[in-house]
Chains A and B, each alone.
Chain A
Amino acid sequence: MSEQEGDNLVSVRNLKVHFPVTGGVLQRTIGHVPAVNGVSFDLKRGETFSLVGESGCGKSTTALAVLRMQPVTDGQIIFNGVDVTHFNARQMRPIRRGMQMVYQDPFGSLNPRMKVADIIGEPLKVHHLAADRKVFRARIRELMDLVGLLPDMADRYPHEFSGGQRQRIGIARALALDPELIICDEPVSALDVSIQAQVVNLLMDLQARLGLTYLFIAHDLSVVRHISHRVGVMYLGQLVEVSSRDELFNSPKHPYTRALLDAVPVANPEIEARRPHKLITGEVPSVRNPPPGCPFHPRCPDAKSMCRQIKPVLQAVGTASVSCHLYDP
């Protein structure tokens, strides 16, 4: 993490998001769930950085915190060189033009009572960027064309479209303001496999044409391998490994990353039957009571006594960063 600040569109420093746990009649706060507990990473301009991990590991919460849609407990979020961590809603408004989101559910993310043109153009209306109806319609046509939708369908309602087409509508909406950062929260996991590739290719195509930066949240490793430049692996609210795509998939360092990659089945059943499986045993521990030391030690096949006591930190191992005592110097 020694790149120059100018290359980074987003820098997240030691981000913590703790959810209060309330109880009793008066709904007092009686505890905290550290959903994200000290995450740091940088997004370089024009790259795709993926966050992967099991459900509940805090990857979506991290993304929402970057969007400032989730109160930040501690840490810093720097967008375009500006520390936006403590901006209020009014201060965030101009910043929001630079960051948009594509949602997982192509059905729930589009208002069923709005026409496609109004959905795609909503950011323009919110930011008062459409001078008149003609400019507005022209921009809608341009955006629909950009994402591979027929501009003639602008006056239809979302329910008249298929899942893949709806996701294209969501992408067009995210592009309306010409943002630099697009946060994709599992953008293809709700789609048929045959459609997933189309949408992923569209996203990559748009990145090449518009120079977009993606923060890509996913659990499907094959999609991640296809689209990412760099990958961060999260476990229990922490980054356990950050590395370039090739490095991560070819020589995973952290035992958790290795286990994740091992869990991906191989298409050829003969190879699949013969290859060694290193399954992780046990359950993900409760985020509310994370184990002492390394959060992964109760399930780690290589855990040492040190792992139960001392929490590892991210350290450079070759070109990657890994938080694991196996790589202690």
Chain B
Amino acid sequence: MSEVIYTPPAAGPTQRSPIVAFNLRMFREKPLGAIGGVIFFVFLFCGVFADVLAPYGVNETDMFHRLESPSLDFPMGTDHLGRDVLSRILIGAQLSMIVGFLAAGLATVISIVLGIVSGYVGGKTDMLIQRFVDAWMTFPDLVLLIVVISIVGPGIPQIVIILGLLYGIAGSRIVRGAVVSVRENMYTHAAQSMGARTLYILWHHILPNVMPVVIVLFTTRVGAVILAEAGLSFLGLGIPPPTPTWGSMLSGTGRTYMYLGPWLALAPGLCLTIVVYAINVYGDALRDLLDPRMRGSR
């Protein structure tokens, strides 16, 4: 039997830790995604250490410096009560990150669980879950939010749970689609035929192969949830004032004093845009780099 076997080139020295190597690869192969990641981690850092970083108290008013444009003392200006916008943005970042991550995380977990059960088990279970999802999606999101918030009152946990459920159940459809296509692959069949248990197959075959979809789902959800929270704050159903969130800053003082102090709307608006964009490009880069087939390609 003549055999032509490709001889692999000798692997280069890889003494670096895998995490460092992965990040270097990201900068080399996906510079935009890497920048997104850096921006995202800067915001995360600011959110976590907001209490230390904020130069002024969040609700510290200063009647002598009202509606001041950005200066060295107040890098992002002050609002109509003389509160420092930068400090409020930092604390707002904290809340946006908490709400964004918890709600998007909850949504993703719900999507994965529902999607995998529905897609992998199939049959009647699939039909029941999907009809439930259909019914759920016919509710207007806003009405549901208003009803629930008016019953339980506004607050971070309520908002996280409601937004998580809303986006999670809707997103399960996307995960289900991916699961159905992965389930049909012969490697799933091979695992079944060698006697693997369902949980093993879900963990080793289904989940890794729906990960690209899940990562994109999560990163888009983080942005969507931050925006949804802003929308809720606009309606007065978000986290109650005077606690600053980007949404309430944008819709409250930002809108009212837009002509007198455009920085009031620009600061939270730009932060929101930048963070959402950064998370999205970072997620896309992660998705591509985690795929072994994309190694070495751009």
Residues of chain A at the chain B interface (Cβ within 8 Å): 27, 67, 69, 89, 92-93, 96-97, 100-101, 103-105, 108-114, 119, 122-123, 126-127, 148-150, 152-153, 156-157, 159, 162, 165, 170, 173, 177, 198, 201-202, 205
Contact = CB atoms under 8 A, between A and B. Distances in A.
B209 A126 contact: no
Contacts of A165: 5-6
6 contacts: A103-B189, A122-B204, A126-B191, A126-B195, A198-B3, A201-B1
B194 A123 contact: yes
Contacts of A101: 190, 193
B1 A113 contact: no
A161 to B, nearest CB: 8
A108 B195 contact: no
A108 B194 contact: no
A201 B58 CA distance: 77
B16 interface: no
Given A69-B192, A103-B190, A153-B8, 7 more contacts: A96-B193, A96-B194, A111-B209, A148-B1, A152-B8, A157-B293, A159-B293
Given A108-B186, A111-B209, A126 B194 contact: yes
Interface in B174-210: 185-187, 189-197, 200, 204-205, 208-209
Contacts of B185: 108-109, 111
Contacts of A173: 190
A117 B196 CA distance: 17
B190 A112 contact: no
A225 B101 CA distance: 62
Given A101-B190, A109-B186, A111-B205, A148 B292 contact: no
A122 B191 contact: yes
Contact of B5 (A103, A122, A149, A205): A149
Nearest to B295: A157
A148 B293 CA distance: 24
Contact of A205 (B1, B6, B208): B1
Contacts of B189: 69, 103, 109
Contacts of B208: 111, 113-114
Contacts of A153: 8
A111 B194 CA distance: 14
Contact of B194 (A100, A112, A148, A157): A100
A156 B292 CA distance: 9
Interface string B280-298: 0000000000011101000
Nearest to A68: B193
B209 A113 contact: yes
Given A103-B190, A108-B186, A109-B190, A96 B5 contact: no
Contacts of B196: 122, 126
B3 A157 contact: no
B194 A122 contact: yes
- In this complex, which of B1, B7, B187, B292 has the most chain A Cβ atoms within 10 angstroms of its Cβ? B187
A114 B291 CA distance: 10
Contacts of A27: 127
A173 B295 CA distance: 24
A180 to B, nearest CB: 14
A205 B1 CA distance: 10
A153 B191 CA distance: 22
Contact of A156 (B8, B187, B193): B8
Contact of A67 (B2, B193, B197): B193
Nearest to A118: B204
A108 B209 CA distance: 12
Nearest to B1: A201
B147 to A, nearest CB: 32
Interface string B1-36: 111011110000000000000000000000000000
A149 B5 CA distance: 7
Contacts of A127: 194-195
Interface string B110-124: 000000000000000
A44 B1 CA distance: 27
Interface in B70-98: none
A148 B191 contact: no
Given A100-B193, A150-B5, A150-B8, A108 B200 contact: no
Nearest to A123: B194
B289 to A, nearest CB: 13
A178 to B, nearest CB: 13
Contact of A109 (B187, B195, B200, B293): B187
